[in-house]
Structure formats: structure tokens, C-alpha cells
A and B are shown apart, each in its own frame.
Chain A
Amino acid sequence: MSVAADAKSAVERPPPRARGWPRSRVIGYVLIGIWIAAGGGIVAYLVWAWNGELFAKYGPSYLEGLGVTLSLVGISIVLGAILSFPVAYARMSKNRILSGLAYCYVYFFRGTPLLVQAFLVYYGVGSFKPQLEMVGLWGFFREAFNCGVFAFALNTAAYQAEILRGAIESVPRGQWEGAASLGLHKLQTLWKIILPQALVVALRPYGNELILMIKASAIVAIITVYDLMGMAKLTYSRTFDIQAYIWVAVVYLVIVEILRHGIEWIERRITIHLKR
């Protein structure tokens, strides 16, 4: 055996494909088999339990519920985004009191379950009925949908403020200094230099927040809003048919998957200039 032959055989090659039936392959095939059986079982159940009458009766209400879910999430995300700017500003400010207040706000909304916050708004405002009637806001809070939007907007504002803060702080200080040396004032710097760079960083967390909100929006069904989940609950309470929840699960999964892939696509597009 020569040294050269040894060196040749030492060239790094990808490991040979495992042949036959190693343990991991057996487990993998069994697990996939279980998934196929479960998926097939659900499809078979849906086909077997198919009830055209029921579908015609409750199908449209699901669509209506989907509309409620999407508008609830849309309105809260936009309101939350608007509210998140002052919160993020306060959080980054050098004023101790201001940043402390913003920290408490963020800690409260991130540290307590959204369900508790929704209950606090929906059931809790009843305690302030006379005061609210005096200001004329009682009509607003009597609607469960408005309460949901109120709680969700406050909640998502806390999360979005943190995303925004993280993204702005990820932009190097030199960018601020460079802009200042060119004579741009703070607001111009923020708008023209910092935000465009920060939003590229923030896109993925914002996308995750959107998906989290869609998923979290299911809990407004508990405070009697007839969103997608609310319609499923209503259908189930009338028919005691588990199909009600299977269909709603399918709809949520499809929405979340579409959003997830959409966000990935957008991210690929807007980070093209960063690829090397």
C-alpha cells in the first residue's frame, strides 16, 4: 500500500446511503404509516359522516366566522402596530419613568394569558358601567367583538413594540451617527435610514406575530364572539358532531400554512440584496 493510495482514500466523501432496514428507517416507516392511517381515518370518517344537509346549513356560517376572524385579527394588528410606536419609543427612551412604564405595560401583556386579558375586558368592564356610561363608551364595550379587538390590540401592541425595539436596536449606531453627520434630523434618520433596515430584520417576527394572532383569535369564541371557532362551538353544541371541530382545524391549518409560506416568500424576495 502506497501513501498516495491512502491519501486518495482519505478524500472526504459523503457517507454511503444506508441500505436495507436500519432501525431509524423502520421507525420512520412505522411513524409515517401511523400518520397515513390517522389522516386516512379522518378523511374516511369525514366521507362516512358526510351530511349534505348539515353542510348546507352550517357551511355558510363558517365562512361568516372566517370573515369575523380575519377582520378581528386585521383590525387588532393594525391598531396594535399604531400603538406599538409610542410604546417602543417609551421603552427606548432615556427617561427612567417613561421606560419603566412601558416595561410594565409590556411585561403585563406578555406575562398574562390572553384569555385572562380578554376576560378582564369583556367581563371586567361591567364593574365600570356607570363611569363608562358617563363617557359614552358603554355602547362600545357592550359588543363582545369590540372587547375582543380592544384586548387583542393592547396585547399585540406589547409584542409588536418589543419586535420594533429589537429591530431598531439591531441597526448599528454608526447609521445614526452617519445620518447625523449628513445633517438629517432624528425623524428623517428614523424614517429614511433606520426603519428600512430594521423592517427587514423585523419581517419574520412580525409574520410570526400575525400567525400567533390568527391562532390566538380562536379564544374570542369563549367571550361569545362568533368567529370561526365560535361557529364551530355553536355547531358542535347543536349537533354534537365532532366534524364541526375537524373542519375548523382544517381551515385554521390551511390559513396558517398559506401565511407561513407567504411570509417566507416575501422574506426571500426582500433579502435578495443581502445574499452573497
Chain B
Amino acid sequence: MLSVWTLLSWGPDGWLDDIVSGAAVTVLLALATLPIGLTIGFFIALGKQSEEPSLRIAANIYTTIFRGLPELVTLFLFFFGGPLILQYLIRLVRPEATIDVNAFVAGMIVLAIIFSAYASEVFLSAFRAIPKGQYEGGYAVGLSYGQTMRKVILPQLVRIAFPGLENCWLSLLKDTSLVSVVGLAETLRQAGVAARVTKHTFLFFSVAAVVFLILAVVSSLATGAIQRSLSRREARR
């Protein structure tokens, strides 16, 4: 029987290297999802506060569906259903083609969709917190719609939305663990393999929990720093 410290060491006897590589995959997945999710979420929020009813309805359908479905169901639907549709479409062109889904990409798509559904609500309430005069002021000095958005609205929007987005990020970080179910070798998967091989189940799942706690602490330190630098730039009123 190997001692606990040997099990948790780096190298062929220990499992630390495997867990660390899993943690790296977790972080990579979350970081790769973030920009996509933020972009989609921003445009969904734009659609929701648009004056055009059809755009509002389309955006609301999106959030209703993807906030209402359990994350796991969304993941399975896309992971098992997505290839069926893709295969059907591709076989129209090349009848012999087969599709192989990469768990990382599938996880990234699903997490981005879920993240954007939640982030759009945050963006929407931030949009509502910005007075109409800001737009009007922008137009009055001759900025176009796009310029007003970029130079006047967005900087304020980011500041108001930041705390909400931080919550979205933390739940994104936790949701990455679900992708282990479809076989991505991230933290939980690696810990599970280690647990099964060594029979030290409690030990290795605790290690996985500790990894997630460390990630949460690190990201709250990082977001704290960003928050401080954002509030430094805020105009005095």
C-alpha cells in the first residue's frame, strides 16, 4: 500500500501530474469559452432591449430555453444530437463522411451557450441602468450609433455588469466539470481515474474539490484586481 504522499507526488507513482494536467484543461476550457460566451451574451442582450418586437422575441426564446434546460441535458443533446444533424448535412455532399466529436469543442459550444444565456441577463440589467441621456449625448456630439456604443456605452456597461459577470464566470468554472461526463480529461475525470485505480476515492475527489476551490480563490483575486482598476477609471460625479 502506497502512502498518501506518494500517491499525491509528481511522477510515475503519484497522480499529481495527471491532476494538474486536468486542472489545466479545466482552466483552458473555461478561458476558451469566456470570449465566445461574452460576445453571444452581449448581442442577445442587445436584441432583448431592441425596439423591434421580433428581435426581442427571438432573444427571449434563446434565454428561456437555455436557462430552463439543465446543463447536463443541453450537453447531452448537443453531444449526441449535434453529430446526427452534422452527419446528415455532410452526407448530402459526401456520402462516405463520418463525424467524430471532440469533447473539448462540444463542451466549449455548450458552455458558451449556457454562459451567454446567463450573461445576457446581466448585460440587459446593465443596459437598463445606463440613462438614456448617455445615448442622446453621444448622438448630440455627432457620434454614430456604433461609435456611441463603443466609446460611451460600453465602458460604463462593463463597469456596471462586472460583478454579475464575475458570478457567471464562477458558475462557468464549476460547469466545466460536467464535460467530464462525455469524456474530456479535465480535473474531475483525472481525479476519477486516479480514484478508481488506487481505490482512494475520498482522497482523490477531495483533491478535485480542492483544485476547484483554488481556482475559485485565484479568480476572485483576479476579479478583485480588475474591479479595482475599473473603479479607478470611473468618472467622478
A249 to B65, CA, bound (A): 9
B54 to A111, Cβ gap below 8 A? no
Residue of A nearest to B213 (CB): A111
Kindly list chain B residues whose C-beta atoms are within 8 Å of the C-beta of A29.
54
A125 to B206, CA, bound (A): 12
Nearest Cβ on chain A to B120's Cβ, whole angstroms: 14
Q: Is B177 an interface residue (CB 8 A)?
A: yes
Q: Given that A116-B212, A218-B73, A248-B73 are known contacts, is A123 also in contact with B205, CB under 8 Å in the complex?
A: yes
Which of these, B70, B73, B206, contacts A120 with CB under 8 Å? B206
Binds A, one of B13-21, B134-142, B195-203, B227-235: B195-203
Q: Is B76 an interface residue (CB 8 A)?
A: yes
Kindly list chain B residues whose C-beta atoms are within 8 Å of the C-beta of A25.
52, 54-55
Binds A, one of B33-41, B77-85, B92-100, B102-110: B77-85
B209 to A218, Cβ gap below 8 A? no
A119 to B192, Cβ gap below 8 A? yes
Q: Given that A117-B209, A123-B201, A124-B201 are known contacts, is A221 also in contact with B72, CB under 8 Å in the complex?
A: yes
A116 to B70, Cβ gap below 8 A? no
Q: Given that A111-B212, A111-B213, A124-B205 are known contacts, is A252 also in contact with B69, CB under 8 Å in the complex?
A: yes
Query: Restricting to B172-211, which residues have a CB under 8 Å from any CB of A?
Result: 174-178, 180-181, 188, 192, 195, 200-203, 205-206, 208-209
**Chain A residues at the B interface, C-beta cutoff of 8 Å:** 15, 18, 22, 24-25, 27-29, 31-32, 34-35, 107-108, 111-117, 119-120, 123-128, 214-219, 221-222, 229, 232-233, 236, 242, 245-246, 248-249, 252-253, 256-257, 260
B81 to A242, Cβ gap below 8 A? yes
A218 to B73, CA, bound (A): 8
Nearest Cβ on chain A to B58's Cβ, whole angstroms: 4
Q: Is B61 an interface residue (CB 8 A)?
A: yes
Kindly list chain A residues whose C-beta atoms are within 8 Å of the C-beta of B177.
113, 115-116
Which of these, B52, B170, B201, contacts A28 with CB under 8 Å? B52
Residue of A nearest to B181 (CB): A222
Which of these, B52, B81, B180, B216, contacts A111 with CB under 8 Å? B216
A229 to B205, Cβ gap below 8 A? no
Nearest Cβ on chain A to B133's Cβ, whole angstroms: 14
A28 to B70, CA, bound (A): 27
Q: Which of A29, A115, A242, A252 has the most CB of B within 10 A?
A: A115
Kindly list chain A residues whose C-beta atoms are within 8 Å of the C-beta of B181.
115, 222
A214 to B68, CA, bound (A): 10
A174 to B237, CA, bound (A): 31
Kindly list chain A residues whose C-beta atoms are within 8 Å of the C-beta of B76.
232-233, 236, 245
Kindly list chain A residues whose C-beta atoms are within 8 Å of the C-beta of B57.
28, 32
Which of these, B47, B51, B68, B195, contacts A253 with CB under 8 Å? B68
B interface, over-half SS: helix
Q: Is B155 an interface residue (CB 8 A)?
A: no
Kindly list chain B residues whose C-beta atoms are within 8 Å of the C-beta of A123.
192, 195, 201-202, 205
Q: Given that A229-B73, A242-B80 are known contacts, is A112 also in contact with B51, CB under 8 Å in the complex?
A: no
Kindly list chain A residues whose C-beta atoms are within 8 Å of the C-beta of B170.
111
Which of these, A24, A127, A218, contacts B70 with CB under 8 Å? A218
Which of these, B59, B201, B208, contacts A116 with CB under 8 Å? B208
B50 to A28, Cβ gap below 8 A? yes
> Beyond A28-B57, A31-B47, A217-B70: 6 further Cβ-contacts under 8 Å?
A25-B52, A108-B213, A112-B209, A123-B192, A245-B81, A257-B64
Q: Is B53 an interface residue (CB 8 A)?
A: yes
A229 to B174, Cβ gap below 8 A? no
Nearest Cβ on chain A to B23's Cβ, whole angstroms: 13
Nearest Cβ on chain B to A192's Cβ, whole angstroms: 34
Kindly list chain B residues whose C-beta atoms are within 8 Å of the C-beta of A34.
58
Q: Is B71 an interface residue (CB 8 A)?
A: yes
A18 to B53, CA, bound (A): 11
B61 to A257, Cβ gap below 8 A? no
Q: Which 7 A-B pairs have the closest CB atoms?
A: A28-B54, A28-B55, A31-B58, A124-B202, A218-B70, A127-B202, A113-B177
Q: Which of B53, B65, B70 has the most CB of A within 10 A?
A: B70
A111 to B216, CA, bound (A): 6
Which of these, A112, A125, A127, contacts B174 with CB under 8 Å? A112
Which of these, B55, B74, B202, contacts A24 with CB under 8 Å? B55
A35 to B44, CA, bound (A): 14
Q: Which of B59, B209, B212, B217 has the most CB of A within 10 A?
A: B209
A120 to B72, Cβ gap below 8 A? no
Kindly list chain B residues whose C-beta atoms are within 8 Å of the C-beta of A218.
70-73
Kindly list chain A residues whose C-beta atoms are within 8 Å of the C-beta of B201.
123-124, 126-127
